Amino acid sequence: MEYRIEHDSMGEMKVPADKYWGAQTQRSHENFPIGVGLETMPREITRAFGALKLAAARANHTLKPEKLTQEKLAAIELAAKEVMDGKLFDNFPLVVWQTGSGTQSNMNANEVIAGRGNEAAGKKLLHPNDDINMSQSSNDTFPTAMHIAAVEALEQKVLPAVQVLINTFQRLEEENQGIVKSGRTHLQDAVPISFSQEISGWRTSLERDMELIKLSLEPLRELALGGTAVGTGLNAPKGFDTLVAQQVSEITGLRFVTAQNKFHALTSKDELVFAHGALKALASDMMKIANDVRWLASGPRDGLGEIFIPENEPGSSIMPGKVNPTQCEAVTMVAVQVMGNDAAIGIAASQGNFQLNVFMPVIAYNFLQSARLLAESILSFNDRCAVGIKANREKMHHNLYNSLMLVTALNPYIGYENAAKTAKKAYKENISLKDACVALGFLSAEEFDRVFHPEEMV
């Protein structure tokens, strides 16, 4: 491999000749051989850095045109847009497990944009610190990148995915109107419910999750940029924070504002904790929905067997013909991962000391993994399972009329205790509720038929 010599304030470093990064990125690459190739800084963060560096350059050009000239802005624009477009991703090798402020990833962005910009300009025009990092600090850029990436992930990935599944459930509700089945509580038989009502519970859970996620988006729209090192805004011109937030909004097409209190913005990660709590709520509901579906589809002969789901692949290497609810299993594993991520994020967010939290990369990594996994697993579950759910009407009817909890309909006529005696006798002697009720003398056969209508219990 060919190398070139780059330098920083600590001296010279050998850097691969075909890469745009400089000495500080190389130092981090060598000093943190932890999870290399597996736990690289999320690309959502890399793209966010491209956006915020472009926004900062535009703001600096407006406020300090004598320092950030039009020529420099043009070179930065070209390079930053390439970062945003993913064209330079192979120049961002750093891992999550680095400095807790994300300083090295900030410098990675500074060096790559400077290197690519200088190449485009055909001369040494840009300096990573003096130009690309102008009016900034790692301490305000990394929190800003986290918020940009989080808002993009929630608005562009998670919410659209959830809406797709909501739409599927709405269709299933309409298609299954009028089908009455046995309800279940505590995994035991319960009073009847319509299949549409059961599906409506799934749908409404997801609609509520969307409301919670949207609520959590508002605090995430506040950006730390402009606070610089400790929140005072040292070395940033007046009005930079407001202007740069406007530029980020224009560049991303999403709404952002400057944080009112930069001291809070640098040290507290409560916005991300709150937003991830909404993702955990979504994960909890997806766990419940996926478990409901695989329970209802269990069988095909010795389980509940009340619904059919798509058969996507063989389920066993030894049992021929076995097909498993694999999409449900993927969703539930994702839910477990998200719940674990939530614990990590909460602990990391509690570790702010004085003017900075230094657990930011792990927060970003876990948050964005949760968002990505939820969005992708929900779409996969929708496309490969939910859209193909069909009611097994015969099995639902059989289970409904085999349920002893239909006896609840008799409470107003024979009382709770007599109804309990009826159910126990029917279960013990393996006879129908009607035969048990008549045998006990609580109702005549004609009276039983007049008051006992399971389909009307929903």
Side chain identity at residue 163, one-letter code: Q
Q: Which CATH homologous superfamily contains domain 403-457?
A: Fumarase/aspartase (C-terminal domain) (1.10.40.30)
Which pLDDT score is estimated for 440?
97
Rounded mean pLDDT, 223-247: 98
Mean pLDDT across 394-402: 95
d(CA 208, CA 278): 10
What's the CA gap between 307 and 390, in Å, rounded?
A: 6
Query: What is residue 54's three-state secondary structure?
Result: helix
Kindly list the domain boundaries of the chain, sorted by start residue.
3-134, 140-176+208-394, 403-457
* Mean pLDDT over the full length of the chain: 97
Q: Helix, strand, coil: what percent of the chain each, to 5?
A: 65, 10, 30
The burial class, CB within 10 Å (0-12 / 13-18 / 19+), for 301 is exposed
87-103: pLDDT as tens digits: 999 999 999 999 999 99
**Is there a catalytic annotation at residue 298?**
no
* Coil, helix or strand at residue 359: coil
Reported as a pLDDT band with limits 50, 70 and 90, residue 24 is very high
- Beta strand 257-258 pairing with 222-223: parallel
188 three-class SS:
strand
The pLDDT value recorded for residue 305 is 97
Q: Band the pLDDT of 341: cuts 50, 70, 90.
A: very high
- Answer yes or no: same fold for 3-134 and 140-176+208-394: no
Residue 220 CA neighbour count, 13 Å, CB half: 25
pLDDT at site 76: 98
- Contact by Cβ (8 Å): 267, 350: no
What tokens appear for 211 in the block?
Answer: 């409301």
pLDDT of residue 429: 97
Maximum alpha-carbon separation in the chain: 101
Q: How confident is the model at residue 382 (pLDDT cuts 50, 70, 90)?
A: very high
Q: Which of 28, 137, 138, 186 is catalytic?
A: 186
Spot the catalytic one: 316, 350, 444, 453. 316
Q: Is 186 a catalytic residue?
A: yes
Q: Long-range contact list for 72-76, CB < 8 A, 24+ apart?
A: 72/117, 72/125, 72/126, 72/131, 75/117, 75/118, 75/120, 75/121, 75/125, 75/126, 76/113, 76/117, 76/126, 76/131, 76/132
Burial zone of 394 (CB within 10 Å; 0-12 exposed, 13-18 middle, 19+ buried): exposed
Q: What is the pLDDT of residue 233?
A: 98
Q: Architecture of 140-176+208-394 per CATH?
A: Up-down Bundle (1.20)
Strand duo 180-185 + 257-258: pairing? unpaired
Report the SS3 class of residue 15: strand
pLDDT of residue 214: 98
Cβ count near 123 (within 10 Å) = 10
Nearest Cα to Cα of residue 233 among 210, 189, 266: 266
CATH superfamily of this structure's domain 3-134? Fumarase/aspartase (N-terminal domain) (1.10.275.10)
